[in-house]
Amino acid sequence: MRPELVDFHCHLDLYPNLAVAIEACDRRRTATLAVTTTPRAFPHNQELARNSSFVRVALGLHPQLVGERENELDLFRKLLPETRYVGEVGLDAGPRFYRSFEAQVRVFTSVLQLCAAAGDKVLTVHSVRASKQVLDLIETNLPNNKGRVVLHWFTGSLAEVRRGLDLGCFFSVNEAMLRSPRGSRLLAEIPDDRILTETDGPFVERDGESIGPGDVTQVLAAIATLRGLDPKQVQAQVIKNLTFLLS
């Protein structure tokens, strides 16, 4: 079945009920990438999503958890052949997590090298206060012909957006990102054919509540407004972009 919507970064297993969250994505016909934060979380997600038409599960090792979970890299290596998708991975140099930054670099470098060796992986990448380092490591360790990268909720500079585009990266955009002038300026730099939509649920809220899994209607409307387009045009372009990304 062809999807109608795309949610390329959602933490389905952090909603109260994973099975219900998967059902919501299937009901909306939203092609959803269910990211995981640790390799240990992957098998349960994979099992519950096995019969889903629209949910695919990514193998992750979140940079914010690397300080306590670096030893799960061996499990990551073992599980990688079971999925094409990798995430959430990357770097976070924010004040709360900077103490583990060297370990994060080690882990992210290993993840990129493992993906390059395997070939044909699709990654969703976190880059808080570390855009340059993330792009440096991608350029060094994951050639564009060995895998595809989607930069999730990107907050780097306009020059770094352009560098990401030169490296072949896509960008996944959520409604919270576009509530700020900075996010809108970044979006203006990204060509139509490199944009994907995401919720980053349940972390993004609307009217004081977590947005539902696969509910990208508001971000589509925001992109359309900023682009001077109809939301249906944006929706169709995002589906086209996903098809190209996965081809």
Q: pLDDT of 57-79, one tens digit each?
A: 999 999 999 999 999 999 999 99
Q: What is the mean pLDDT of the chain?
A: 98
Q: What is the pLDDT of residue 135?
A: 98
**Average confidence (pLDDT) over 150-161:** 98
At 134 the pLDDT is 98
Tally the domains of the chain.
1
- What is the rounded average pLDDT of the residues 227-241? 98
* Measured distance CA(111)–CA(43) in Å, rounded: 18
CATH number assigned to the domain comprising residue 70: 3.20.20.140
| In contact, 150 and 245? CB cutoff 8 Å | yes
Quick one: pLDDT at residue 1? Answer: 82
Q: Give the structural domain span for 64.
A: 5-246
In whole angstroms, give the CA distance from residue 120 to residue 41: 22
b/e map 53-91, b = 16+ CB within 10 Å? ebbbbbbbbbbbbbeebbebbebbeebbeebbbbbbbbb
With beta carbons less than 8 A apart as the criterion, state whether 34 and 86 touch.
no
The mean per-residue pLDDT over the stretch 157-174 comes to 98
Rounded to two decimals, the pTM is: 0.97
* Dist CA 117 CA 55 (whole Å): 25
Mean pLDDT score, 144-169: 97
pLDDT at res. 29:
98
Name the 3-class secondary structure at 9: strand
How many percent of the chain have pLDDT more than 90? Answer: 99
pLDDT, tens only, 97-125: 999 999 999 999 999 999 999 999 999 99
